[in-house]
Amino acid sequence: MKNLFSKHRAVDSWLFALVPPHALALFRIFFGMFLLILWLRRLPFLPYLFANGRILPPLLDEGIPSFLSPFPVPPSPEIACLLYIIFLSFLVFFILGFYTRTSAFVSFLFSLYYWFLAMRLVEATYDRLFIIFLFILSFSGAGMTLSWTMRHRHGSWWAWEPIVVFPQRLIAIQVTMTYLGSGWQKAWLPGWQTGEVIYYMLIGMRSTRFAHFIAALPLSFYFYEVMSGIVKLFEFILPFGLWSKSQRWFFLGGAIFHILVTCVIGMWWFLALIATYILFIDPEKVFMWFEKRFPTPAPLR
Return the closest-CA partner of residue 221 out of 200, 207, 190, 205.
200
Distance between CA atoms of residues 80 and 103, nearest Å: 19
| pLDDT score at 139 | 95
Q: Rounded to two decimals, what is the model's pTM?
A: 0.88
Grade residue 300 by pLDDT with cuts at 50, 70 and 90. low
Among the ranges given (59-68, 214-223, 292-301), the one the predictor scored with the smallest mean pLDDT? 59-68
Task: Out of 127, 155, 183, pick the residue that ends a domain.
Answer: 155
Q: Is residue 3 part of a domain?
A: no
Q: Report the C-alpha gap between 169 and 173 in whole angstroms.
A: 6
Residue 72 has pLDDT above 60, yes or no: no
How far is residue 7's CA from residue 184's CA, in Å, rounded to a whole number?
30
Residue 149 and residue 174 share a domain: no
Q: For all residues of the chain together, what is the average pLDDT?
A: 86
Determine, yes or no, domain membership for 1: no
Task: Tell me the per-residue pLDDT of 211-262, one tens digit each, with 9 for 90 and over.
Answer: 989 888 888 888 888 999 999 899 889 999 999 999 999 999 999 999 999 9
For position 198, what pLDDT does the model report?
87
- Is the pLDDT score of 266 beyond 80? yes
- Whether 11 is covered by a domain: the verdict is no
Give buried/exposed letters for 77-96 (b at 16+ CB in 10 A, else e). Answer: beebbebbeebbebbebbbb
Q: What is the average per-residue pLDDT within 123-144? A: 90
Please check the confidence at residue 12 and state whether its pLDDT lies above 60: yes
Same domain, yes or no, for 40 and 104?
yes
Q: Are residues 279 and 171 in the same domain?
A: yes
Rounded Cα–Cα distance for residues 30 and 165 (Å): 19
Give the chain's radius of gyration (CA, Å). 22
Instruction: Specify the pLDDT at position 28.
Output: 97
| % the chain with pLDDT above 90 | 50
**How many domains does the chain contain in total?**
2
* Residues 165-200: tens digit of each pLDDT: 999 999 999 999 999 988 888 888 887 888 888 888
pLDDT value, residue 199: 87
Between 116 and 43, where is the model more confident? 43
In this structure, are 128 and 32 located in the same domain? yes
Same domain? 29 vs 148: yes
174 and 256 assigned to the same domain: yes
Question: What pLDDT is recorded for position 36?
Answer: 97
Task: Give the range of the structural domain holding residue 171, as residue numbers without chain letter.
Answer: 165-296
Mean pLDDT of 13-19: 91
Note the pLDDT of residue 16.
Answer: 93
Q: Is the pLDDT of residue 99 over 70?
A: yes
Give the pLDDT mean for 29-37.
97
Average pLDDT value for residue range 123-141: 89
Question: Do 172 and 289 reside in the same domain of the chain?
Answer: yes
Sign of the dihedral defined by the CA atoms of residues 53, 54, 56, 61, in that order? negative
Q: How high is the pLDDT of residue 117?
A: 79
Of 98, 131, 155, the residue that ends a domain is 155
Structural domain contains residue 170: yes
Q: Residues 109-124: what's their mean pLDDT?
A: 75
